[in-house]
């Protein structure tokens, strides 16, 4: 039975099991006809997914367990220092603060909303 459309990606453990299963059947790094469909039935995923895993088997070992977001450009302390260093008259609006500190207005708004910079 295939995965539902809203299902998450296959866990790393299932990917590794799948590749190990196929590598047992491979000879000289080539698969004979049949094991891809058999693995798809065993691990309940589509044969294209199994083939994709077999094709990219070298990258499975280095994949991260979780998705990581982009690191913040400025820490809260650095942002506070930049805002405090800006002249008093240019701290009246968010737009003025963004222009004087050269920090994106959306980032300033988000940080103020989080109350990390007050």
pLDDT class of 118 with cuts at 50, 70, 90: low
53 burial (CB, 10 Å; 0-12 / 13-18 / 19+) is: buried
Whether residue 48 is found in the same domain as residue 88: no
Sequence-distant (≥ 6) Cβ neighbours of residue 37 within 8 angstroms? 47
For the chain, the domain total comes to 2
* Rg from Cα positions in the chain: 25
Whether residue 86 is found in the same domain as residue 56: no
Whether residue 81 is found in the same domain as residue 56: no
Domain encompassing residue 97: 76-114
101 burial (CB, 10 Å; 0-12 / 13-18 / 19+) is: buried
Is residue 3, in this structure, part of any structural domain at all?
no
Whether residue 52 is found in the same domain as residue 81: no
Residues 95-107: tens digit of each pLDDT = 999 999 999 999 9
Is residue 4, in this structure, part of any structural domain at all?
no
How far is it between the farthest Cα atoms of the chain?
Answer: 74
Residues 68-87: tens digit of each pLDDT = 677 778 888 899 999 999 99
For residue 65, pLDDT over 70 is answered with: no
For residue 62, pLDDT over 60 is answered with: no
């Amino acid at each position: 039975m295939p995965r539902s459309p809203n299902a998450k990606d296959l866990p790393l453990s299932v990917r590794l099991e799948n590749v190990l299963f196929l590598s047992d059947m491979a000879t000289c790094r080539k698969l004979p006809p049949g094991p891809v469909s058999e693995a798809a039935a065993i691990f309940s995923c589509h044969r294209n997914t199994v083939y994709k895993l077999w094709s990219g088997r070298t990258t499975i070992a280095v994949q991260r367990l979780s998705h990581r977001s982009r690191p913040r450009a400025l820490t809260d302390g650095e942002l506070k220092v930049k805002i405090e260093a800006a002249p008093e008259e240019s701290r009246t609006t968010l737009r003025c603060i963004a222009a004087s500190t050269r920090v994106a207005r959306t980032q300033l708004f988000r940080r103020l909303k989080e109350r990390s910079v007050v």
